[in-house]
A and B are shown apart, each in its own frame.
Chain A
């Protein structure tokens, strides 16, 4: 168990460019979540997957954002036409949903990708 892994750790981009982040969850975890965290705030829910199915998207997730989990393992989060307001830490988390009474909401987080849009 190597924990939740996210790449890259840091991304600096110019406004208008597209960026893609990757998340590798803990291998036996079937749920994967994306959260966004800005300075001085707690993480905010963006979207989640149950295996390969994307089951919910927050209204924070504009149509410039797209997330995939094609084989139910790793996930990618793409932001198109980045804006300065997209600058934030993007956190990925996974959980062993359905694998025990206390497992569902106990999320394990990765170290995040810090995005800076210039």
Chain B
């Protein structure tokens, strides 16, 4: 079982819909990252959080440390939000630097 599991693997939405992408992890962590990768493109950091909730524009990220779960929400989705969204965690034990990545969620937003 992977340490970081994302769901769904693929998600198709209509423009304007509310989107939720989930990330579950099995280890104790000190930080969780949400990243965005457009097709053929680089990787951009959206959020880094260790507790609670963060908001940036139409994007909201939440984390529940006790349940080992995080969600990324996109409000009023737009075709330009189409991308792969990747969850990564930094474990609180072992190598202090290693990030463990989920396999990503491919989001397609149709106009």
Indicate whether A and B interact: no
